[in-house]
Structures are given as C-alpha cells and as structure tokens.
Chains A and B, each alone.
Chain A
C-alpha cells in the first residue's frame, strides 16, 4: 500500500460543481480519496453520480471548482489522467456490427500499453466471447466488454459507473473478485452505484449523494455501527412522544401502540433522559443495515449548499 502521507490522493475535488440548472447537476463537491481505497459513490438515479464521474474523466467541464487525479488536473492534464485510469461509462455505447475482438484491438491501439494476455484472462474469467458481433451481445455481455476495456491496461485507478448493471449474479461475483484483487494490488477504485449490497461487498468508504449534494462520507463501520443505531422500545404505558421527539439525533420515529422504533444518531444519554421515569418493558438497540442508513439520508429534508 502506498504511504498516504507522501503520495497525493488518488482523487481530490474542491467545490466541484456542474450546474445544469433547475437544481440538476453536482454542487460544491469536496472529496478526497486515498490511493488504494475502494470508494463507493451511492445515490439514486439522477443524484449526480454520473455527472461527478464525467467531471473526473474530463468528459464535461465544471461550472466551478477543481478535480485532480493523482495530483493531475482533470481539465488541463486530461491525457495524463486517462493514462492512469480505467473507465467504465454508465451507458453502454453502440458499436454496431463490430466484433468484440475488433473493439478491444481498436481501444488497445488507442491506449498502446495493453497486454493480450491480460485481455484474454479477463475475457475468460468473465466468460466473454470476443468473436461475436457487438450487436449480438446481450446487455450483460456488453457490460463485460466494457469491463475488459476498463481493466485491460491494469490502471492504478478505476472509475466505474454502475459497473454491475446487467451482470448476472455469477458474474457479479467475478466482478467482486476482480475488485478485491485490484485492491490487493494497490489499485484505487471509485465506483458509483445505487445497489447497496454491491457497495457493502467491495467498498472501504462510502459517499452518499442526494440531489447533487454530498450528504455524508464515511467508512461502512462509521455509517453502520458508530453514529447510528436502530432503537426499539416497548413501554408499559403510553410512550412519552413529546420528549422523544425532542431528543437530538432521533428520527424516523414510528409508534405502534406502546412500541416505538426510531433511528438514533449520536449518543444515547439524551434518549435515556427522555424515557427516565417511564416503565420500559423491552428495549433493543441494533446496528442499522446500510439500506436503512441510505434511506435515512433520503427521508431527511433536502440539504442546500
């Protein structure tokens, strides 16, 4: 693993903004991703994930702010950046009647530093026949081909926009294996997804984006275990709703007869104060799933920059 204190971050953005108008785009994104890290960029459709990725790849120009990859400016040093990046676009392109082998050869020619052995190995592992024409490929096979194009030059950074779309469960597992191997080899991975299980499988840290704003970044452990927990309390009498509602960090409050469930962020002392004097017959506290965390960010009011 590279020494993070001496090497530049794999990805760094500062107030990165692409404003398409009508609150569409990505706004004031400040993000730092260390080398060797696998980072998941999580959000529903239209949240700004693809916009962020296109900004990093220099496909689109920022309205303001900057983005660097390994210390290189994504705008001004695009060629050098792309030499270090393997990219999988969010939408499958149309290569018509080309054979898979021709597409790979063409892109390898543009890149110039690709080993046929690596291509063959990737195609075999993904069970992809490069002899077939692109238009004959299923959606999953097109995605596999794009994965081959992204991985074939063993880049130090992978930027993958919803990489498992169309892959069957078997080949999703192959993809997770490839990501694990890449991480072991020191590769940084930035992948966007709206599939929580995918992020749980492979990511060290997760950023959650909502309506163009980054609402939180943390390790899975931080997001799941430390600051938030699912609370379930059964009271003998009526729950003290007024006091519960005033507890800082307690939301998603749901009352069912004498039973209360809620999500608690932060410490438990305020909650204990709120229920003091009440007869509690049962109390459970557990870590929420990532899905619950995710939904908790999406049920909160829209943050504005």
Chain B
C-alpha cells in the first residue's frame, strides 16, 4: 500500500525523466549511424570533430572515448548527459519525499493512520529505487534498440553493466539529497541544499575530468560513476568504484532514514539553540516591501544574490580556459575548419558563441524558475491575497515581468562586469560596448521566455514550465549541433536563441532582436488578457 503510494507520488517525474532518457538514448545512436560515416577515414574525422565538441562540454558531459564507435558515442552522448538530468530528478524527488509532502501535511496524516516512520521512509526510498531502476532500464534498452537499428548493436550485457553503475549514481544522488532534506524545514531549502551539495560533487568531477582535484575526487559519486566504461572496447565496470558508489548511497540512505525517525515533524534534524525572536505587532520597516516591483525583488533577494554570484563565477571559470582551448584547437587544421564554420575563429567570437550561448540558456532557466514561482503563487493561494487588494490584474502581470527583467539586469550586469575583469586578467580583448550590448540583448531572451511563461501559466501552469524547459534545451542543442553536423541554416533558426545572435562579435541582427522583444511583448499581452479572463483561486 505504502509502496504503491510512493510510486504514485513519483510517477510524474519518472515519466518525464524516462521520456527524456528513452528519447535521447534512441535518437543518439540513430544520429550516429547517419552522421558518423561508414569508412574508417570518415569515422576518424567524425571522432576528431566530436572530440573538439567534447572538450568544450566537459562541464556537461563526461570525457569522450572511442567516439568513432557506436558504443563510445552512446557512452558519451546518449548516456553522458543523463548524469545531470537523473541527479536533478533525484534531488527533486528527494526534496518532495523528504520535505514537500511534510510541508503539505500529508506525512502527518499518514503517520496518524498508524504508519510507522520507518515504513514510511522505507517505502519512499524503495519506491524511488524501483522507479529509478525502471527509468534506467528503459533508457538503456532504448540505447540497445537504437544501436541495433543503427546496425552496430551494443551487447546487452555491456548495457546491463552500464545500468548497474547508472542506477548506483541515481540512488546515491537521491540518498544524499534525502539526507540534506532532513537538515532543513522546507522543500525549497531541501532542493537548494541537496542540489547545492550535488553540484559541488559534480564540479569536483568536472575538475577531475581535467586531471584536477586528485585528492578529493573520490568523494564525488559522479567521478565514481565516470570511471565505468563497460560499453567501449577494452573497458569494463570498475568494481571497487561501483561498490563505493552503492556504499555511499547506502550510508546516506541509512542516515536519512535514521534522521527522519529521530527528528520532529516539521523540524530539522539539528535544531539551533532556542533564541528569542523579537516579538512585534508592527509591520516590517523594510521600505522596498511597500514599493511595486522592488517588493518582488526584495522577496527574492537570496535567490537573486545566488544567481548574481554563480553566473559571474561561471563566466570567470569559462574565461580561465578559453585561451588555451582556442589556441589548441586552432593549431589543428581539421579542428580549425569546424571552428571557423561555427564562428569560433578567435577568442572574442568563441566567448560570444560559447559563453553567451550558455548564458542565455541559464538566463532562460532563471525565467522558467520565475514562471514556476508564478504558478506556485496561484496554487498556494498567494495570488488570491494579492488579487483581493485594489490593484488590477494587468498590474500583477506587468509587475512580475518588470521584476523579472530587473532581476535579469542585475544578473547580466554582474556577469558582464566579471567577464570584463576576467578577460582583462586573461589578456583577452573584449569590446566593452559589445559586451554591454550582448548583456542588454540577453534581456530580450528573458523577456521572450517570461512573456511566454506568463501567458502559459494562466492556462496550464505545470505544463508551461515543462514546455518552456524543453524549448530552452531544444533551442540550445539546435545551436550546438547545426554547425557540427552541417545542418541547413534554417534548422538553427528554429532555435529561439538564433534571434539573439552573437552580439559580442558585432553580428547583431536588429530585426531578430526586435523579434525577441516582440515575442515577449506578445506573450505579455496574452498574459494580461488571460489574467483578466481567468478564475483565481484553488
């Protein structure tokens, strides 16, 4: 009964992640069969090109190996990206099981029915383990089918070994996030702490991919997972590291279960010593809370600060290896062809395409997070309180969008300043005017996503968030793959980011930029009309 409940509660996430996994695992082998060529020479060229891309994407994908083979391609491209996606799913599932259902009062209700705490947490862990195993199995089965359709089948035994490692990573990520959830009191806090912990562990693996972090890489479950290569020729499952992966998962699972059994409901495992909160009957003196737009930014100050620190830090990190990477690639004739085709022929254009391409993707995520918050305002009754005040519904929409753009302006300004300073330190010349223009035009991307999000959230809140995420990822991948596979230009133009262009290199298409702002304006207008027409309240 409890297990069924756990499966029911986790089914939406499992279906979504399973669909992504199966689609990627099926499509990638088929793409390989079409694009890699048939002769050894064609395969060698393809592998070289992919190697270039892979070196740019080590922060997203594992180190490549045997990219001229179907097995190597599946390991790197089809399954590699799933590490991050599955870990993200694990964090969301664990924060929901560890805190979200407790916040909603469901856990209290179930425990009141006579369910023991051990049974409850055990069922949630068991339910996720089952779902995780099913998702990984289906994904790898899809990869097997894809490789067979591509006429280069990968042995099922090798896929099974890969599955053992991948399930270990998923369960370990879940266990860490579930333990983190015991240390805080809200789902948001659980997601932030669990996600933050896994991000740090992931970044250790990213550094380890460049032979760094030697002394601490063993603590990263992502690194432990990355050492397994059962698909490729000569590779195998690394037994000790896989055992270490599972052992880590078991330890954190046991710690999380123990913490849940021991702690009070609604309270963190470790309570701070009681302190006297200053009692008051007066409203807060914070003047920002009383001002339009600034009130919204004030409410989001912590997350906004995090965005305004993390994005500039990522920009500086990117700059730290730009010069070496570009020099190496341009020194190789076959790589130079690809670099020039992709518009990556010098440091500035490389930064413009690669960093700004990543920046607009991340800013899109920021807009999607805000959209998700608007949906939550409605579902959790805050919108009803706001709409019962003497303000128009149009103002609610406009204030949200202006706050989104103002928040984005703060983030891109911080990122731009950090990039300018970082470029100077790396001795890379960047035109500050172009940098400012690129940053300003990034607002258009956010406005487009925000406008679409505002329009959609009035209609289908949860679906809107998922669709916007899919649009962002598809847009990013279209931009990445079009030059690589020499697809027609119109394919890249399907990407929303094609409207952004590469302002840092001075290639601003004002009509396209205006189109971005036009999409935002149209979405905003639809959002205002929808907000006026719709019913509010749960």
Contacts from A to B (Cβ < 8 Å): 54, 57-61, 78-80, 82-83, 85, 87, 89, 91-99, 101-102, 104-112, 116, 119-120, 123-124, 128-132, 135, 149
Q: How far is the CB of B103 from chain A (nearest CB, A)?
A: 8
Interface SS of chain B: loop
Residues 505-537 of B at the A interface (beta carbon under 8 Å): 533, 535-537
Q: How far is the CB of B512 from chain A (nearest CB, A)?
A: 38
| Contact yes or no, A109 B295, CB < 8 A | yes
| Contact yes or no, A95 B290, CB < 8 A | no
Given contacts A91-B381, A105-B284, contact A135 B186 (CB under 8 A): yes
A116 to B388, CA, bound (A): 20
| Contact yes or no, B381 A93, CB < 8 A | yes
In the complex, 6 of the A-B residue pairs with CB atoms within 8 angstroms, ordered by the A residue number, are: A61-B535, A93-B381, A97-B186, A101-B280, A108-B290, A109-B289
| Contact yes or no, B282 A102, CB < 8 A | no
Q: How far is the CB of A283 from chain B (nearest CB, A)?
A: 51
| Shortest Cβ distance from B377 into A: residue | A93
Residues 265-295 of B at the A interface (beta carbon under 8 Å): 277-286, 289-291, 295
Complex partner residue of A129 from B280, B283, B295, CB under 8 angstroms:
B280
Q: How far is the CB of B15 from chain A (nearest CB, A)?
A: 26
| Contact yes or no, B286 A102, CB < 8 A | yes
- In the A-B complex, the 10 residue pairs with the smallest Cβ-Cβ separation, listed nearest first, are A93-B381, A109-B290, A123-B281, A60-B535, A105-B283, A94-B380, A83-B390, A110-B389, A101-B284, A105-B284
| Shortest Cβ distance from B383 into A: residue | A93
Contacts from B to A (Cβ < 8 Å): 103, 185-186, 188, 277-286, 289-291, 295, 299, 380-382, 384-393, 533, 535-538
A91 to B295, CA, bound (A): 24
| Shortest Cβ distance from A81 into B: residue | B390
Q: How far is the CB of B318 from chain A (nearest CB, A)?
A: 33
Q: How far is the CB of B231 from chain A (nearest CB, A)?
A: 45
Q: Which residues of A contact B533 (CB under 8 A)?
A: 61
Given contacts A60-B535, A91-B538, contact A102 B385 (CB under 8 A): no
| Contact yes or no, A107 B281, CB < 8 A | no
| Contact yes or no, A79 B392, CB < 8 A | yes
Complex partner residue of A59 from B279, B280, B537, CB under 8 angstroms:
B537
Complex partner residue of B277 from A83, A97, A112, A131, CB under 8 angstroms:
A131
Given contacts A59-B535, A61-B533, A135-B185, contact A89 B281 (CB under 8 A): no
Given contacts A59-B536, A82-B390, A116-B282, contact A106 B188 (CB under 8 A): no
Q: Which residues of A contact B291 (CB under 8 A)?
A: 109
Q: Which residues of A contact B290 (CB under 8 A)?
A: 105-106, 108-109
Q: How far is the CB of A291 from chain B (nearest CB, A)?
A: 30
Q: How far is the CB of A145 from chain B (nearest CB, A)?
A: 10
Q: A57-B387, A89-B537 are in contact. List 11 more A-B contacts (CB 8 A).
A: A54-B535, A59-B384, A60-B536, A89-B384, A93-B380, A102-B289, A106-B295, A109-B290, A110-B386, A110-B389, A131-B280
| Contact yes or no, A119 B382, CB < 8 A | no
| Contact yes or no, A105 B281, CB < 8 A | no
| Contact yes or no, A149 B188, CB < 8 A | no
| Contact yes or no, A130 B388, CB < 8 A | no
| Contact yes or no, A94 B381, CB < 8 A | yes
| Contact yes or no, B382 A94, CB < 8 A | yes
| Shortest Cβ distance from B276 into A: residue | A131
A80 to B390, CA, bound (A): 7
Q: Which residues of B contact A57 (CB under 8 A)?
A: 387-388
Q: How far is the CB of B281 from chain A (nearest CB, A)?
A: 4
A97 to B391, CA, bound (A): 24
Q: How far is the CB of A160 from chain B (nearest CB, A)?
A: 12
| Contact yes or no, B389 A111, CB < 8 A | yes
| Contact yes or no, A149 B281, CB < 8 A | no
| Shortest Cβ distance from A108 into B: residue | B283
Q: Which residues of B contact A54 (CB under 8 A)?
A: 535-537
Q: Which residues of A contact B538 (CB under 8 A)?
A: 91
Given contacts A93-B385, A132-B277, A135-B185, contact A111 B390 (CB under 8 A): yes
A107 to B282, CA, bound (A): 13
Q: How far is the CB of A86 from chain B (nearest CB, A)?
A: 9
A235 to B282, CA, bound (A): 67
A102 to B289, CA, bound (A): 7
Q: How far is the CB of B372 from chain A (nearest CB, A)?
A: 14
Q: How far is the CB of A77 from chain B (nearest CB, A)?
A: 11
Q: Which residues of A contact B279 (CB under 8 A)?
A: 129, 131
| Contact yes or no, A99 B385, CB < 8 A | no
| Contact yes or no, A96 B283, CB < 8 A | no
Q: Which residues of A contact B385 (CB under 8 A)?
A: 89, 93, 107, 149
| Contact yes or no, A104 B283, CB < 8 A | yes
Given contacts A60-B535, A102-B286, A130-B283, contact A107 B389 (CB under 8 A): yes
Q: Which residues of B contact A128 (CB under 8 A)?
A: 281
A160 to B103, CA, bound (A): 26
| Contact yes or no, A106 B289, CB < 8 A | yes
Q: How far is the CB of A1 from chain B (nearest CB, A)?
A: 25
Q: Which residues of B contact A98 (CB under 8 A)?
A: 299
Q: Which residues of A contact B188 (CB under 8 A)?
A: 96
| Contact yes or no, A101 B535, CB < 8 A | no
Q: Which residues of A contact B280 (CB under 8 A)?
A: 101, 129-131
| Contact yes or no, B281 A79, CB < 8 A | no
Q: Which residues of A contact B392 (CB under 8 A)?
A: 78-79
| Shortest Cβ distance from B380 into A: residue | A94
Q: How far is the CB of A64 from chain B (nearest CB, A)?
A: 15
A92 to B277, CA, bound (A): 24
Q: Which residues of A contact B389 (CB under 8 A)?
A: 82, 107, 110-111
A205 to B291, CA, bound (A): 40
A210 to B269, CA, bound (A): 48
Complex partner residue of A102 from B284, B384, B535, CB under 8 angstroms:
B284
Q: Which residues of B contact A85 (CB under 8 A)?
A: 388
| Contact yes or no, B283 A101, CB < 8 A | yes
A178 to B290, CA, bound (A): 27
Q: Which residues of B contact A111 (CB under 8 A)?
A: 389-390
| Contact yes or no, A116 B283, CB < 8 A | yes
Q: How far is the CB of B447 from chain A (nearest CB, A)?
A: 24
Q: Which residues of B contact A116 (CB under 8 A)?
A: 282-283
A37 to B280, CA, bound (A): 34
A299 to B499, CA, bound (A): 66
Complex partner residue of A87 from B381, B382, B388, CB under 8 angstroms:
B388
Complex partner residue of A105 from B289, B381, B388, B536, CB under 8 angstroms:
B289
A95 to B535, CA, bound (A): 21
Q: Which residues of B contact A92 (CB under 8 A)?
A: 381
Q: How far is the CB of B179 from chain A (nearest CB, A)?
A: 21
A129 to B280, CA, bound (A): 6
Q: How far is the CB of B453 from chain A (nearest CB, A)?
A: 21
Q: How far is the CB of B226 from chain A (nearest CB, A)?
A: 37
Q: Which residues of B contact A78 (CB under 8 A)?
A: 392-393
Most-contacted residue by chain B among A93, A106, A108, A111 (CB, 10 A): A106
A110 to B396, CA, bound (A): 10
| Contact yes or no, A60 B537, CB < 8 A | yes
Q: Which residues of A contact B289 (CB under 8 A)?
A: 102, 105-106, 109
| Contact yes or no, B537 A101, CB < 8 A | no
| Shortest Cβ distance from A149 into B: residue | B385
A156 to B289, CA, bound (A): 26
Q: How far is the CB of B98 from chain A (nearest CB, A)?
A: 16
| Shortest Cβ distance from B280 into A: residue | A131
| Contact yes or no, A89 B381, CB < 8 A | yes
A105 to B286, CA, bound (A): 8
